[in-house]
Amino acid sequence: MNKKRRPARVYTVSTVDRALTVLEAFTPAKPELSLTDVSALTRLPAPTALRLLATLARHNMINRSSTTGLYRLGSRLIALADVVRSTSGVPDMARAVMRQVRNVLQETTYLSVRLGEHRIDLEQAEGVRDVRRVIALGRPTPLHIGCPGKVLMAGMSETELSDYLEGTPLGKDRYGKVIDRGELEREIRRIRRQGYAETRHPQIAGAISAPIFGPAGNTLAALTVSVPFVRYTEELRAEILRVIIDAAHAISAEMGYKRRPDARPT
């Protein structure tokens, strides 16, 4: 008699989950937060949020201003990002190509890697236009938020992807839209087929990400171009797509990846 296979259990530590939720509350738009802000954004009781902030501060992951009393992300997160940067090897290979992409498009180009269930934006070649996108480096962001993370999710095995979706509250994106699991899974399959991910947020930004592969075909990083939405025309989108795909392929080749002749984006 065949027994129905039970899904793999995902083990989590609630305190760690909550601490990461606190870190994720800080954004480029809101780099400094009060205790009330943190409690409201994380939906944690104020005493719980205060204990987590105090613990994170002891590890220099959070700093509290002695003058304003506001909290901000600490230097330890930058140090951890440096560890990822120094051990992955991808940034060294990607840096020159990123500058070339920025010079061609004049728009901000950045590199992201996976760290557990989060992505870390490690490097950027900032755009040269007066109005441009500027990326906050070193901050952990859930993989399912933004096109770089979705490219990294597309590189997961089916087991990894299933475990992530089972164990991670999807919540809302940065712009308040509720994230539907079925819709997210369809998007990941589409990214795998077409070879890139795209995000469009009217009045804010448009972005395209492409995967960087290692020798075994594993996804090492995501390369992204981000543009203020006012300039994100169909003509520029087509140029970004061509340039970013070619750049990601060039970095992948430097990392030892042998691209299949028929591997082209759709």
In the chain the domains, ranked by start, together with CATH numbers, are 14-73 (1.10.10.10), 78-254 (3.30.450.40)
Closest among 142, 122, 144, 131 to 224, alpha carbons compared: 122
Per-residue pLDDT of the chain (266 residues; tens, 9 = 90+): 444 444 444 444 578 888 888 988 887 778 899 999 999 999 999 999 999 999 999 988 899 988 889 999 887 877 776 665 554 578 788 899 999 999 999 999 999 999 888 899 999 999 999 989 988 888 888 899 999 999 999 999 888 898 888 888 888 776 677 788 889 999 999 999 999 999 988 778 899 999 999 888 889 999 999 999 989 999 999 999 999 999 999 999 988 887 654 444 44
Give 44's DSSP letter. -
pTM of the model: 0.67
Give 6's DSSP letter. P
With H, G, I as helix, E, B as strand and everything else as coil, classify residue 55: helix
Q: How far separated are the first and last CA of the chain, in Å rounded?
A: 45
The two structure tokens encoding residue 111: 């590199």
Distances (CA, A) of 204 to 33, 131, 193: 22, 12, 27
| Angle at alpha carbon of residue 21, lines to 18 and 25, rounded to 5° | 145
> Does residue 115 contact residue 140 with C-beta atoms inside 8 Å?
yes
